[in-house]
A and B are shown apart, each in its own frame.
Chain A
């Protein structure tokens, strides 16, 4: 166990130096193009916000069911199937009746693999809808995979809009990721006050222009809507003149005439045409500008607006006009988002945590090395040198993978300091035992190493198992702990079996005639 070939010595040294260089490059500005990676600090250390958003897909599902209902009506007509009592039950199930003699024909239309009305997903081996037939009543509800399909497509849209909104605010290096099929994770490093972003992400920003009417019965239907400030109620037509989709730009602007802040917008070609047509027929009427079910303002149409641009008034402050313009530019979310988890750490606390982490690392380190030196003298020194390299290797690997260091991650490093010496302790204690029965010191060292090997492996693998499970199951900062703990075990094994053993062997071979080596 004590023999090292030249090649192995060189490769151990090279590997250690390389990783040490990676590790140290985090602390010293080294200007070269050779290695540009660095350890990232977690949100708990550099400060920032972690937001977990959940998409409320219920309105989307109901909308889809309503669309499907219309499609089924048309489709059945087209196929000459007479149906009756088609309704959407509990916003969940589409139900309709057909004549007994057309039952089988209808069933096939919904059941076959190339069904148009009820598509078959090859990859899931499932239709969009589950079909059940009760006498001559057909009941359709979304299958598990039909729902997954809806969810993932609304997630795709939502993440895009979230990304645009976050980018518009301009924070540095935001991290926006999908979680499951109805959640979005937003990490905003360095962001001290997430309130504005929370406000902006909480808005669906569904903008419509609709006329206010006096007649309750209109062909498209009407609804009662409140004004934003809650002052008034107005009856608004359901017919949408223009929606946010037609906007290509929006900006806040000071209107010098009335000395108020407005939001100006530019429409695309289709939007401009429709807007021109609607405003020319609707002169004299009030056009309500509705955002997420509330009327922002309802100006009178004084003249046709044909330029494809306009402005929204509504008691804005400059901030709220800026926010509205931002929301309109980035587009509407497919469904409302709820913030279901938030963790924000201010930069002060982050810095305090870094300081505390480093302080306890240094103190822990010195306590451990003093103890080892006291207990094992020269071999304690070897164990300590090994420990330093172990830490450098650990940091080097973290740097290589650009891992994120969290406060629990630092705790993991400190714990590694405490536990890393265990392997050397096991070996040295074993050697002490061997020396009692073995006169030849080199042989005693050799068998000390080999006999403690399985124990060390067993002991470290068990801790590694805990770290791996923590990595898989854990989230956020806790994951950071499992990373440093797990990598720490691997670097410990390497440093004990290569670095410490190399140093030990050099020392023992040089001093083999000493009376008492250990």
Chain B
């Protein structure tokens, strides 16, 4: 090796402590602050309104909606200046046509200078089903990954990879909880993709660890993981960069609807890259993986 190795392994401890703290904070946030569920998971109605007159301010709109007896109404700006998102939880009675009524009410209170660009209304039954199927999807994909890695590698690797995945998912969700970003269906998709991406990254390093375990019998796992991380480092960085370039492009140019989704992915890619190095590998060290671990398995 002519190139000097970067001693990632010297920082295993400090980053493990940092990660543990972050995970604890995330769990506490999730338990006590909770997540800001969107209408997909909480039920209720979301309306995206674009006003065609600049005179209509957010407070006008808020006043108009508060008069309509819809329960808790939240009105927020959405991207451009004249775009607003209105959310309320009122359950619509089956025979009542809320949207039609709101349109009538609005045209008397603020005039006809608006259009409804999007309406999403989810009943309580559907929203709880969506939430459950979202959780099942994430749990299923984690266990499918676990099984796949277990088949392809030894159990120590499988454990390392799964703990790294949990780390990424929990910290990303903790981040969303901290900043109150909305959790909707597309965030579930993002989390699943993060799971895939983080796994992908971990697998690349693990493959190299396994190869090096066969090659060198005299190097301890502590240094061996470091060699493997260094050997795959340029790939890890380049792939993270190209993926982040694509995601940043979605974040900045893909429109408001994809903002949350791409943000979750960006966070996930960063945490995923980090965890492949600093979570997955130290676990191999802790579990004392050695040449015997893989050779024993291969003989069987």
Contacts and interface: CB of A to CB of B under 8 A. Distances in A.
A408 B186 contact: yes
Contacts of B141: 465-466, 469-470
Q: How large is the interface on B (under 10, 10 to 19, 20 to 34, 35 or more residues)?
A: 35 or more
B117 A360 contact: no
B188 A411 contact: no
B89 to A, nearest CB: 15
A221 interface: no
B250 A364 contact: yes
A422 B232 CA distance: 12
Nearest to A467: B196
A485 B197 CA distance: 12
B90 to A, nearest CB: 14
A195 interface: yes
Contact of B203 (A341, A367, A410, A458): A458
Contacts of A340: 122-123, 125-126
Contacts of A485: 193
B107 to A, nearest CB: 14
Given A195-B100, A469-B140, A478-B188, A349 B253 contact: no
Interface in B212-244: 231-232, 234-235, 238-239, 241-244
Contacts of B100: 195, 199
Nearest to A199: B97
B200 interface: yes
Nearest to A458: B203
Please report whether the interface of chain A is mostly helix, strand, loop or mixed according to DSSP: helix
Contact of B189 (A344, A346, A408, A417): A408
Contact of B95 (A202, A349, A476): A202
Interface stretch (A155-163, A280-288, A368-376): A368-376
Given A338-B94, A411-B258, A429-B234, A459 B200 contact: yes
Interface string B244-283: 1111111011110110011001000000000000000000
Given A368-B246, A462-B203, A478-B185, A421 B239 contact: yes
Contacts, number: 225
B77 interface: no
B185 A476 contact: yes
B144 interface: yes
A17 interface: no
B182 interface: no
A415 interface: yes
A425 B239 contact: yes
A36 interface: no
Contact of B145 (A198, A368, A462, A476): A462
Contacts of A342: 119-122
Interface stretch (A3-11, A241-249, A351-359): A351-359
Interface in A194-251: 195, 198-199, 202
A482 to B, nearest CB: 7
B68 interface: no
Interface string B87-112: 00000001101011000000000000
A346 B115 contact: yes
Contacts of B50: 348
A455 B262 contact: no
Contact of A414 (B119, B208, B238, B246): B246
A110 interface: no
Interface in B8-28: none
Interface stretch (B30-38, B55-63, B130-138): B130-138
B148 interface: yes
A465 B144 contact: yes
B86 interface: no
Contact of B204 (A202, A417, A459): A459
Contact of A356 (B2, B203, B254, B261): B254
Nearest to B103: A195
A455 B202 CA distance: 10
Contacts of B145: 462, 465-466
Contacts of A195: 97, 99-100
Interface of A: 44, 52, 54, 195, 198-199, 202, 336, 338-346, 348-349, 352-353, 356-357, 359-361, 363-364, 367-368, 371-372, 375, 407-408, 410-411, 414-415, 417-419, 421-422, 425-426, 429, 433, 436, 454-455, 458-467, 469-470, 472-478, 481-482, 485
Interface of B: 2, 48, 50, 94-95, 97, 99-100, 115-123, 125-126, 130, 133-134, 136-137, 140-141, 144-145, 148-149, 152, 185-186, 188-189, 192-193, 195-197, 199-201, 203-204, 207-208, 231-232, 234-235, 238-239, 241-250, 252-255, 257-258, 261-262, 265
18 contacts: A195-B97, A336-B94, A338-B94, A340-B126, A348-B50, A361-B249, A368-B242, A407-B258, A411-B250, A414-B246, A414-B247, A414-B250, A415-B247, A418-B243, A425-B238, A466-B192, A470-B193, A478-B189
